[in-house]
Chain A
């Protein structure tokens, strides 16, 4: 059984004859999947569209990512469940979910499973989701305003990211999360860069905004780039991806550290 949400990935597959499923179940009118609950913890139903996220995403970085996706038409149809279902390393919400340390909620007749995002993706367009499981929601703890999503691409809309970077600084929980998209088989968490950033916030104080030094920002960028495992493809070379990640890492830190 194949699920159709917004169809913005699935229909492309069908039109190109890459998939010919026997049965398709459309879930776009299942109200239970379309809700967003917030009470310090966010539960975003799998059927929430990007357009909806622009108004209410429960995460600044996720709203920024949603804004970059496709075009108004794609944003009206495409859902977070579909982005997770496709599990492409270029999926723009996925680095954010990684940085938020979100949980993917899967359900089947056998019951519910809660999978940390870090364990969810296993390769390009591969995940631990079983064929009989429906993605019902993504959940995370609200992390405050110090977060951002950045990407480079050959144009400003209707483009698959050449590289994307999400950074979340949860000042209350003293936590830094960084997620890298389009630069490896799965979404990458650069552990050294996160550790380095935590050290900077320990020093500067978690509760106060600060302006990181240029050398600190550069070093963070270097660590981010070092963690990436990019490849050459029609959209960009590995060298360019690595360089762009370094610049985005530095800029993201400078931006986020100044937000209280």
Chain B
């Protein structure tokens, strides 16, 4: 029998019924009396100066109540305090097609929409920049004046261990370029917000956001209204995947228009607008050089990434660091160098998408390991097992590793898929591939530098045995409300349905930093457990007195406090709570969590990468390639995932399967296509996501390494499982047809191209992918030479003390 009564059971999520029956109230479901409807006017030019912006005609349009423009909110904002380069609405200049320029509030949606065309904007076109290469090279065109060199947003160089000695000791060195195409989150719910400013001089913003606390701070800054007069309520997000974790134009516009009109204002983006709001996966070109001994032992890795950031910073500084930070946590790497450059281009801003910044390098690195295995004649699964980073260790870049279940994941996959028997043995057109990965259970540092908890929770027990847990987390469909309810219920000995969850409300709940970086289960789980254990002590103490049994002998489960030695001796939870309240007064407790110190290094840039625990996972992909049409069919994806302990196995499996689905889409179909800065497919008909008919058979295997610091041993499950899917499929395609896909997506056209069937020239290729920087007008060699020069000049710098993740 399990030691738990709630943890580990496949219970339905506490909010499942509301979601299933359509009762869940999303932001767009909110209707307030006298509410106005907002629309954003968006830029039609990729790069232009705004010469004149005249709203007179639009204001005269029947139904229009108010209009605001960039001039009304000139304060710089952005999610990362050190790189704020956005304004709520464009001021003076636009930097991508779709950038919000003005906002209208009207009595109905049609009036707002029609009035958009009555706003007169006079643009002076500037030369746009669309590629990484041009952005690196063009000193004469500046998307942001703040770029010191060309259009570079951020350049980082870190080096650990003796790289030269590492490469010198290698028997074999691989040097490969990869390109990861950009893609977007495509949550089913489009962004939506309702603002209401009342006679009490307080502003409430209900919004589909992953980060109510950070948004709260930005609203204060931009609106100039003290935070004490602003309340942000994160409504249930109908999917987010990182796409709702920046402060957005429509949120500020709703707030300001409500302040101006004294009426509630709603903005709901349409699907096309979501493609412009974006903040999705960065397109990344990368070069990876890896040295290995004959037996495959890694001696050195030099990883370089070039990120196409789009028009603004977003989380870009963290993304840049993340492309280099986590390569070291899976396999032993004694010497490691990382160079990263993120550039501005005139496209919608990129940001965090599930796997934030780690997905692209993981793809490249796991594909390269597969090549190394082939070069050395090693079984790719066995090979990975042999070079694992050990548990309870430090990586070369000083990350603390605790529980580490990648080896068990690989074993589980071998049992489930018979990988080693099949690999290299299947008929042409059939293939099997494997890849491993890891992810953080929350970032070790907050986005703004402070010593406060990362997560706080408050729990109250009422006189009827009900329990209310309040925590600032945002429920984005990932199951965070269920985690809060499960942890609370387990600790107190009640059931999740007895727990009322109040989340994502800056007035009612203590701060939690938000639903990003897979931090909620670990951090909010620990904060909640902390609060619940305090109340449990009071309840148990009261019951012990009543039963005449020592408190240590009492257990709590199924709404009872009972004697371990004689379960027939019990007090109901409600009675025990009443006794406890009689003695101690109102039963309220607060708990908090902050990651321990010393889990990362102290050098400049050490802020990104550390996490209190890492999840580990690996995927086996089985594919079929139609060698005549080039059609790639992924038959099955099996992922084993080490989540520490599965608080709810069904929820973990849901995350693993959802990740597999999303990763599959990224490598097989998804593609952001722009022409002249214009998004070519801003709709769900044209931007292809896999449908249920396309989705492969999915299997999730839960591996439990029980982390010593996680709540009941739990680690993350929401992001890591996406990463290995992508290289596993690329490696399986190689197994099927002998072609390396060093770029995504793997389309039928590219397969035909490799097979020599795309045209009549019949030239076959054993690899599809980039050979370096190129394509653009820029001279890639020069850009690289220059980068190489700065790389050598700036070796690792060590500074004292922990630094915020965005040091500069």
Contacts and interface: CB of A to CB of B under 8 A. Distances in A.
B749 to A, nearest CB: 5
Contact of B691 (A152, A155, A160, A237): A155
A156 B748 contact: no
Interface in B90-136: none
Nearest to A71: B691
A3 to B, nearest CB: 23
Given A159-B688, A234-B686, 17 more contacts: A152-B629, A155-B689, A155-B693, A156-B691, A158-B685, A158-B691, A234-B680, A234-B681, A237-B749, A237-B758, A240-B630, A240-B749, A240-B758, A243-B758, A244-B629, A247-B629, A248-B629
A239 interface: yes
B171 interface: no
A162 to B, nearest CB: 9
27 contacts: A71-B691, A152-B629, A154-B669, A154-B688, A154-B748, A155-B669, A155-B689, A155-B693, A156-B691, A156-B694, A157-B692, A157-B693, A158-B684, A158-B685, A159-B688, A234-B673, A234-B681, A236-B749, A237-B749, A240-B630, A240-B748, A240-B752, A243-B752, A243-B758, A247-B628, A247-B629, A251-B628
Contacts of B686: 234
B747 interface: yes
A14 to B, nearest CB: 13
Nearest to B633: A156
A156 B673 CA distance: 21
A152 B752 contact: no
B691 to A, nearest CB: 4
A152 B628 contact: no
Interface string A213-255: 0000000000000000000001011011001100110010000
Contact of B747 (A154, A158, A160, A247): A154
Interface in A75-116: none
B690 A155 contact: yes
B274 to A, nearest CB: 16
Most buried by B among A152, A158, A237, A243: A243
B759 interface: yes
Contacts of A248: 629
A158 B629 CA distance: 20
Nearest to A233: B680
Contacts of A239: 758-759
A154 B757 CA distance: 18
Contacts of A152: 629, 631, 748
B765 to A, nearest CB: 15
A215 B160 CA distance: 61
Interface of B: 628-631, 669, 673, 680-681, 684-686, 688-694, 747-749, 752, 757-759
What's the interface size class on A, roughly? 10 to 19
Most buried by A among B631, B690, B749, B757: B749
A247 B630 CA distance: 10
A243 B626 CA distance: 13
A234 B757 CA distance: 20
Contacts of A158: 684-685, 691
A240 B669 CA distance: 16
Contacts of B748: 152, 154, 240, 244
Nearest to B758: A239
A240 B694 CA distance: 21
Nearest to A244: B629
Contacts of A155: 669, 688-691, 693-694
Most buried by B among A71, A152, A155, A157: A155
| Top 3 closest pairs, chain A to chain B, by CB | A156-B693, A157-B691, A247-B628
Nearest to B627: A247
Contacts of B693: 155-157
Contacts of A236: 749
Contacts of B694: 155-157
A62 B318 CA distance: 53
A168 B319 CA distance: 55
Interface string A118-136: 0000000000000000000
B534 to A, nearest CB: 52
Nearest to B684: A158
A208 to B, nearest CB: 27
Interface string A147-174: 0000010111111100000000000000
B263 to A, nearest CB: 27
Nearest to A250: B628
Contacts of B688: 154-155, 159
A243 B761 CA distance: 12
A25 to B, nearest CB: 23
Contacts of B673: 234
Most buried by B among A154, A236, A248: A154
A170 to B, nearest CB: 27
